[in-house]
A and B are shown apart, each in its own frame.
Chain A
Amino acid sequence: LQFQEYVFLQFLGLDKVPSPQKFQPVPYILKKIFQDREAAAITGGSQDLCSVKDLGVRGNVLRLLPDQGFYLYSKNLSQASSCLQKLLYFNLPAIKDKEQLTMAQLGLDLGPNTYYNLGPELELALFLVQEPRVGHSIPKPGKLFVLKSVPWPQGVLHFNLLDVAKDWNNNPQKNLGLFLEILVKGDRDSGVNFQLEDTCARLRHSLHASLLVVTLNSEQCHPSSRKRR
Chain B
Amino acid sequence: SAIPANKASCKNLCHRHQLFINFRDLGWQKWIIAPKGFMANYCHGECPFSLTTSLNSSNYAFMQALMHAVDPETPQAVCIPTKLSPISMLYQDNDDNVILRHYEDMVVDECGCG
Q: Residues of A at under 8 Å CB distance from B?
A: 5, 12-14, 16-24, 26-27, 30-31, 33-34, 37-38, 41, 44, 47, 49, 60-66, 91, 94, 220
Contact = CB atoms under 8 A, between A and B. Distances in A.
Nearest to B35: A38
B100 A34 contact: yes
B89 interface: yes
Nearest to B107: A41
Contacts of A21: 96
Given A5-B26, A20-B31, A37-B88, A94 B100 contact: no
A185 B70 CA distance: 89
A167 B103 CA distance: 28
Interface in B20-68: 26-28, 30-31, 33-35
A169 to B, nearest CB: 14
A5 B23 CA distance: 11
B71 interface: no
Contacts of A41: 85-87, 107
B93 A17 contact: no
B8 to A, nearest CB: 30
A55 to B, nearest CB: 11
Given A38-B35, A60-B102, A220-B104, A18 B92 contact: yes
